Amino acid sequence: MTFRLALCTTALLSLLASPIRADDISDALQAALTAYNAGDLSKTSEALTLARQSLGARQSALLTALLPAAPDGYTRQDTEDFTQSFGIMGGGAGAEATYSSADGSVSFKLSFVADNPMVASMGAMLGNAQMMAMMGKVVKVGDQALLSQDGSISTLVNARVLFQAQGGTEEQMLPLVQGIDFAKVGVFDTK
């Protein structure tokens, strides 16, 4: 009994003595603060850029997790570089996946784009069911109103996340769209 207690105590003390590893975001923010306090604005800016990139990658991973799994008879292929060009469009996070039938006859994409200035500009259109009704058919998934128009299903969630399904018919895409928890999408990066 004493040997086990000593072993557990040693293990616990070694865990407490070792420094807790910070993540990329907090490391970059700390580097920015250190550079700022030293008066080096160039390094501050560089570190903040790295923190923003890491934060965007973390947010994109959270959005990717909210895309539905491929249904039976389909495959899902996540777009790895989907957010790569977001920097020139004002930043933000996003996720995209292509869903393809096994025989290749059906293929469509589902995507999220969050916290991007271009998304905010769509608020008047996609944030209002009456405006959507003037542009096309409005479908409901839970409490979320979506615009179905010309092979595309779109909505703006919580005034910050644009969702789009494109490339298939409403009949092909809507069953997957109905599997999305839009309440979670609206607060995807909060606990």
Domain limits for position 182: 69-186
pLDDT digits (tens, 9 = 90+) for 27-40: 989 999 999 999 99
Asked if residue 4 is part of any domain, the answer here is no
Tokens of 153: 């299903």
| Number of domains present in the structure of the chain | 1
- Is residue 185 within 8 Å of residue 159, measured between CB atoms? no
> Which string of DSSP letters, residue by residue, matches 124-142?
HHHT-HHHHHHHSEEEEET
pLDDT digits (tens, 9 = 90+) for 140-181: 999 999 999 988 999 999 988 999 999 999 999 999 999 999
- Is residue 97 within 8 Å of residue 91, measured between CB atoms? no
Banded model confidence at residue 118, pLDDT cuts 50, 70, 90: confident
Asked if residue 176 is part of any domain, the answer here is yes
Asked if residue 3 is part of any domain, the answer here is no
Asked if residue 7 is part of any domain, the answer here is no
pLDDT digits (tens, 9 = 90+) for 13-29: 333 343 444 688 899 89
* Rounded Cα gap, residues 113 and 98, in angstroms: 15
Tell me the CATH number at 111: 3.40.1000
CA 52 to chain centre: 14
Asked if residue 21 is part of any domain, the answer here is no
The pTM score is 0.79
Asked if residue 126 is part of any domain, the answer here is yes
Which residues face 164 on adjacent strands?
111, 154
Q: Is 80 helix (H, G, I), strand (E, B) or coil?
A: coil
